[in-house]
Amino acid sequence: MGETIDLSGNFVILDITIQDYRITLAAIYGPNNDEPAFFDNIKNKISHFGNSSIVVVGDWNVVQDYEMDTLYYRNENNPQSKAKIHEVMHDLDLLDIWRLQHPFEKRYSWRGPNRKQSRLDYFMITSDIEAFVISSDIGISYRSDHSLILINLKFSSQIRGKGTWKFNDSLLKETEFIEKVKGDIKTVIEEYESDPSIDIETEDKQLI
């Protein structure tokens, strides 16, 4: 089990185990302004744990669908952050579970001035644990301009999905990882070259 905590209070990321399922759980508070780098940083920190199962929840301060997720908005907020979130969703195989379970419903988690409302708060989960989600909901608010959001997961009732494997390309920026891969490649080549029973040219073609 591990954790990564932002001292400014914008995220907490935990590496946890629930009924033998290892999961990265992240709670975030996204910036009010258009800062796509924040979500890129979240992706890199989540990827560091290396878990295929991920749950990310919080106030993203970005809507997913302007038509479905806003009311009385004049302009679309934080478009660069929205594009970055969609990129992160693709890279980490994340799903907006409430929208999947309520594809045509218009409900909002935030209320502001001039009757503005939007769905800024939501859960993102990886597809391999989608079958575990029994329900998702947007609750009522109490002394807050944000509503409670909930998902109900039952890990013992379903067979875990396969999910989608994606290479964590953020590793290509880590010197330690690059040096380890180079070392592993060198070791394999030396092992092949030292064994006269192996035709290295034939093996290279098979590996390709």
Binding site as annotated, residues: 59, 61, 145-146
Distance CA 180, CA 183 (A): 5
Annotated catalytic residue, options 6, 21, 29, 73: 29
Annotated catalytic residue, options 65, 72, 90, 146: 146
Contact 112, 145 (CB under 8 A): yes
Is 146 tagged catalytic?
A: yes
> What is the crossing angle of helices 79-92 and 36-49, to 10°?
20
Is 40 tagged catalytic?
A: no
Contact 45, 39 (CB under 8 A): no
C-alpha to C-alpha distances, 181 to 1, 49, 52, 93, 185, nearest whole angstrom: 25, 18, 21, 25, 6
- Please name the residues in contact with 118: beta carbons below 8 A apart, sequence gap of 6 or more: 63, 69, 70, 71, 73, 77, 108, 109, 110, 112
Annotated catalytic residue, options 15, 59, 91, 137: 59
Q: Residue 190, Cβ neighbours under 10 Å: how many? A: 10
Paired tokens of 44: 């890199």
Is 59 tagged catalytic?
A: yes
Catalytic residue positions? 29, 59, 146
